[in-house]
Amino acid sequence: MIHRVLLNLSVLRLVAESPTFKLVKSSTKKRGEEGKKALAEFKRFESLVESRDFRSRLEGGCAVMEPFSIALHYGEGDSVPLSHVLPVFQLMYDFAQQLDDFDAITDFLDSEDERDAIAEIVRKRWLGEGRLVGLKTDVHQLAFVLDPFVQGSLTTAEEPECDLLDGDVLESARRALRHFASDDPAKRAVLLQQFMLWNAAAPKVVPGEAGGSSDTKPVAQASGNNGFSALRLDAMQVVWNKITKREELLNGNGTPREEGSSAFAMREAIAKLRLTSSPVEFWLAMMSEVPRGATKEQKEAHLLFCKTAADISSIVGHTCGVERAGKAYKQVLTALRKSMDETRATKAVYV
């Protein structure tokens, strides 16, 4: 809402200068006390749309809120995988810790205590504190580790190793996998062994083996030499190609990037995430990539892990779809329910 006012400030100035505005404003003088209050609001509107200080406040509010707004609106999409929670909210957390880097924000929130308060709110929401469970939970990290597309959006063919795949994230992912199979020790052992193979299959750059000529940059190679290796690299390559094409189009069109904007990093990250495919599709395809020469037990282990990964990747991480569906049905909040008495309330609870 703040952003729309900022974008349309010149239009609002024209409203204040229009004959209709002046006519309606003058007519309020005939309405006694009520007219005086209305006239004060007309004058306030005129002063705001002409005020440089008001514009600066709008710009400051946008600088603070835009990265959060972009992330939250993206996250409530029905097709957004659970694996996107980690990169999006980690970026939001990093932004909240670096508010001092943006002049528009420090001009708007000139008190360090105000900026620290925002960082603290985001820190608690992401990492949790006390009884408050943060969004950086094991299942979100497991979904991220199992999604080669989202990892492709954060890397390049020249630097395929994802910074977010660190020891803490991998340990959280293992914890979630153990919990997923907590009722069956044998199943848990199989899943953890396959998970080790999956991590070993992450693409890596092998210097001196990628190109053939000395002036060719090394690029990602399949590693791990197991059933996951080739398809994992292919999935990431698809995303790298899409990102490269996007960059070429933006550069060719001369599209302004606003790299100094507080929302630039978030906007770019979301644009790349939108280029990714569903990890569920990847794991369904992976089920048919049974390792050659595998024993019956190895084939069963591979299929179990692929099915488990597909199940985890298909988890919906929000209730926005339920809310949207609820709004579609007029029966949810009828006129009768708005004036609910005890009998009707009892019946509604029963239903």
Q: Is 204 helix (H, G, I), strand (E, B) or coil?
A: strand
Sign of the CA dihedral running 338, 339, 342, 344: negative
Burial (Cβ within 10 Å: 0-12, 13-18, ≥19) of residue 104: middle
Residue 308 CA: distances (Å) to CA of 105, 182, 194: 44, 13, 11
Distance CA 219, CA 284 (A): 27
| Backbone φ, ψ for residue 39 (5° rounding) | -60, -40
Give the position of tokens 């094409």: 245
- Are the C-beta atoms of residues 82 and 143 closer than 8 Å to each other? yes
Picking from 278, 285, 286, the residue whose alpha carbon sits closest to that of residue 313 is 278
Query: How crowded is residue 237: how many other Cβ atoms within 10 Å of its Cβ?
Result: 17
Q: Is 260 helix (H, G, I), strand (E, B) or coil?
A: coil
Distance CA 206, CA 219 (A): 7
| Encoded tokens for 64 | 């603070």
| Backbone φ, ψ for residue 36 (5° rounding) | -65, -40
Distance CA 231, CA 224 (A): 12
- Are the C-beta atoms of residues 300 and 290 closer than 8 Å to each other? no
Per-residue pLDDT of the chain (351 residues; tens, 9 = 90+): 899 999 999 999 999 999 999 999 988 877 788 888 899 999 999 999 999 999 999 999 999 999 999 999 999 887 899 999 999 999 999 999 999 999 999 999 999 999 999 999 999 999 999 999 999 999 999 999 999 999 999 999 999 999 999 999 999 999 999 999 989 999 999 999 999 999 999 999 876 554 445 556 778 998 887 889 999 999 999 999 999 999 999 988 877 888 889 999 999 999 999 999 999 999 999 998 877 788 999 999 999 999 999 999 999 888 887 777 777 666 666 776 667 788 888 887 888
Residue 78 CA: distances (Å) to CA of 86, 92, 161: 17, 20, 29
